[in-house]
Structure 1
Amino acid sequence: MDRIFLLLLLSVPAAAPKGSHSLLMLTTYIEGQTPFPHFGYVFMLDDVKVLYYDGETRTFIRRGNTTNEDEVFDSAELLTINDQTERSFREKSAVVAQKLNQTDGLVFQKLLLCELKDNGEPGQMVTRFGFQGSTIDELQYLDKTFTYDSTTNETVQMLKMPLENSKWRHEKVCYPVCLQILKNFLEKRGNQVNRKVKPKVRLLQSDLSSGSRVSCLATGFYPRHINLTLFRDGQPVSDDEITGGDLLPNDDGTYQMRKILEIRKEEQGEKHNYTCTATHLSLDNKLEVKLEYDHGTPLKPVLGSVLGSVLPVVVLVMVIVVAVVIWRVRKAGKMWVKFVNMI
């Protein structure tokens, strides 16, 4: 079940800016028949999964730790928060089920994220509440200032009291608890999230029936922040000509990125010089690679390891997101519109 939460996080925007650290908690509550636990959550330290909570067994399951982490958080304190959160989900679910006359396939999620800046000072905290894979509202807290955004039809007067209560809980309870757990995890996992792994970069050209393709691939790097640029005759190729550029995970905890330029047959007579550069925290200087021609076989060893790690992740993302996040959304029809109007 914790893998489901991790895959869902691929759609969450990058949490912390370069040099800072974040702790993200994604909670999911499912009402109705499901092969998964009805309630649970996952903790992510930056982009590393460190903890999973199973609501069925009320147990904390640590991930990837090499040392004792019992003192990282107060189990009793978290269990109390868990009970309050699950109770809140059940209450929301009861209201929605009554309004929609549906008790099966209701999926609620809550995302909570806090940050530490690169200078060690507290950063922002973000809380999002979602239903059936869509965000209902979002509360941000930074420098003792709250920002609230909602997609519901509730008036300011209706929101005033519950929003004030929520702000108090965030400022006095959630924010300090989240920051303390983040600091404690960083003491234990600092080497893991602060490690630097250099990218392997290749620039290849291959023939297509419609012309040819120039592809710049960077893989095996950590952390995730990278600047990959494709050049033509010394000038950056414009973004509207480029496809790809998505950050994808490898199965060893590193990342990869690919940028592709398609060249039409009528343009192949034009002679151009292509290069690709990568800028990354693990590199002292910008890395520049020159174009190689792909004859078919030389590329296989490189792409074999890359695709072997990416394809299972892509397949799992497609299956899990369709099955869990957009839970019976087609069958529900206009349920989302009704839900927004009644909250």
Structure 2
Amino acid sequence: MITLLLLIFVGIHRAVAVTHSLKYFYTSSSGIHNFPEYLSVGYVDDVQISHCDSVTNTSVAKQEWMKKVTDEYPDYWRDETKTCIKKQQAFKESIRVTKDRFNQTKGFHVFQRMYGCEWNDETKKVKGLEQFGYNGEDFLAFDLKTESWIAVKHQAFVTKQKWDHSKHIAEYEKSYLTTECVKWLKMYLRYQEKSLMKTVLPSVYLLQKSSSSAVSCHATGFYPDRAELLWRRDGEEIHEGVEKGQILPNNDGTFQMSVDLQPPSGEDMQRYECVFQLSGVKEDVVTKLEKAKIRTNEDSSSQIWIIIGVIVAVISAVLAVAAFFLYRKKNGPCKDKDYTAVQQKTKPENPSA
């Protein structure tokens, strides 16, 4: 579980402010109990936007603002559901074929497809990726520069040859990765921005594991992410004994961050205060360091469990792609355009692996 948590927090780290991404993850599995045989999830800038699996057989929005897509595409979620059900069979066939190529009949196995694009709203640079993984290792990938497939495993060479000889696949890959994907990304960003146009101040908590550990000032639920969190002593910002964390996204589109303080022993606590500053807001959120405000593990009713709540929320959001984090530790994820029917009604069917 510790390894999974580390991978989760690495995986959800927010990209540079001007770089936006649309990513979809598809997973087919066999032999894994209490886990859907098929699931698909979508992310915009590391915030989950959609979910569908072989248990519910329904594609649903994971953010309120994603429901606005029906304003432009009334049948969006109905079509997404149809696609989810249809593609389960394609993925089931892909994992069967791949198992045969590895001469495997027993045990649990995971076949994955990841597809997506990144777009920089300043440079307008677009980056697209499509990759396949099998049982925790790279299997097959599309090279956008050469418009050809790379067989990472020799068992994928048959698929590489077949897809390389199909010209329309490469043409469509390039078109979708560099044009269509970005179009949808911009639309989703527009919905997101409309829902979060105003600034949102955070809830601020003072948390401490034990009486001898550092005091953590934790701010969560703020928007946008242009914020600063710091400690002051006697009105002056301090850096010594301070450890600042990074801004991380919450699953609802807001953000969180923490800054830890190890105050010198013997000093008056009330000389210290935690200060949260949000771009566009004149008034700072100031929290005095007072013993009565500090929540610790020793207090059964403590708000320190909000940290655990945040972790649980993150785990829930990415449980559907947990296998992906185990498979891809260093490379970016991708999305399969064939798995969203609304994106192009007449798109060609991709052959199975």
Q: Structure 2 length normalisation: TM-score?
A: 0.61
Q: Indicate the SS of the match to 1:41.
A: strand
Q: Indicate the SS of the match to 1:303.
A: coil
1:187/1:215 CA distance change after superposition, 3 Å: closer
Tell me, in whole angstroms, the C-alpha distance in 2 between the residues paired with 1:150 and 1:248.
33
Q: Which runs of 5+ in 2 are unaligned?
A: 1-6, 328-353
Tell me, in whole angstroms, the C-alpha distance in 1 between the residues paired with 2:318 and 2:44.
24
Tell me, in whole angstroms, the C-alpha distance in 1 between the residues paired with 2:326 and 2:173.
28
Partner of 1:268: 265
Q: Which amino acid aligns with 2:222?
A: F
Q: Percent identity?
A: 22
Report the CA distance between 1:228 and its aligned residue: 3.4
Q: Indicate the SS of the match to 2:17.
A: coil
Match of 1:68 among 70, 75, 86: 70
8 Å contact kept, 1:22–1:113: yes
What is the CA deviation profile of residues 93-131 of structure 1, one whole-angstrom value per residue up to 9, with x for unaligned ones? 533355263444212223322234335946322334334
The reply on whether 1:40 has 2:39 as its aligned counterpart is: yes
Tell me, in whole angstroms, the C-alpha distance in 2 between the residues paired with 1:91 and 1:137.
13
Tell me, in whole angstroms, the C-alpha distance in 2 between the residues paired with 1:133 and 1:285.
49
1:11/1:29 CA distance change after superposition, 3 Å: farther
1:163/1:317 CA distance change after superposition, 3 Å: same
Tell me, in whole angstroms, the C-alpha distance in 2 between the residues paired with 1:29 and 1:149.
21
Q: Which runs of 5+ in 1 are unaligned?
A: 1-7, 328-343
Count of residues in correspondence between the two structures: 308
Partner of 1:28: 27
Partner of 2:174: 171
8 Å contact kept, 2:19–2:120: yes
8 Å contact kept, 1:69–1:188: no
Partner of 2:202: 199
Q: Which amino acid aligns with 2:73?
A: E
8 Å contact kept, 1:138–1:150: yes
Partner of 2:344: none
Report the CA distance between 1:24 and its aligned residue: 1.9
Q: Indicate the SS of the match to 1:17.
A: coil
Tell me, in whole angstroms, the C-alpha distance in 2 between the residues paired with 1:168 and 1:285.
51
Q: Structure 1 length normalisation: TM-score?
A: 0.62
1:256/1:29 CA distance change after superposition, 3 Å: same
Tell me, in whole angstroms, the C-alpha distance in 2 between the residues paired with 1:21 and 1:40.
24
1:21/1:136 CA distance change after superposition, 3 Å: same
1:118/1:38 CA distance change after superposition, 3 Å: same
User: C-alpha root-mean-square deviation of aligned residues, in Å?
Assistant: 5.2
Report the CA distance between 1:75 and its aligned residue: 7.4
The reply on whether 1:214 has 2:211 as its aligned counterpart is: no
Instruction: Give the alignment of 1:249-328 within 5 angstroms.
Output: 249=250, 253-262=253-262, 268-269=265-266, 274=272, 276-281=274-279, 283-284=280-281, 287=284, 289=286, 291-295=288-292, 303=303, 306-307=306-307, 309-310=309-310, 312-313=312-313, 316=316
What is the CA deviation profile of residues 59-89 of structure 1, one whole-angstrom value per residue up to 9, with x for unaligned ones? 5333432573561769779977996796367
1:150/1:89 CA distance change after superposition, 3 Å: farther
Tell me, in whole angstroms, the C-alpha distance in 1 between the residues paired with 2:143 and 2:229.
31
Q: Which has the higher contact order (CA 8 A, sep 6+)?
A: 2
Partner of 2:50: 51
Tell me, in whole angstroms, the C-alpha distance in 1 between the residues paired with 2:86 and 2:313.
32
1:124/1:100 CA distance change after superposition, 3 Å: same
Report the CA distance between 1:217 and its aligned residue: 1.5
Q: Which amino acid aligns with 1:260?
A: D
8 Å contact kept, 1:278–1:286: no
What is the CA deviation profile of residues 219-255 of structure 1, one whole-angstrom value per residue up to 9, with x for unaligned ones? 22134564434567744247xx7386573637x6533
Instruction: Give the alignment of 1:83-102 within 5 angstroms.
Output: 87=90, 90-96=93-99, 99=102, 101-102=104-105
Report the CA distance between 1:292 and its aligned residue: 0.9
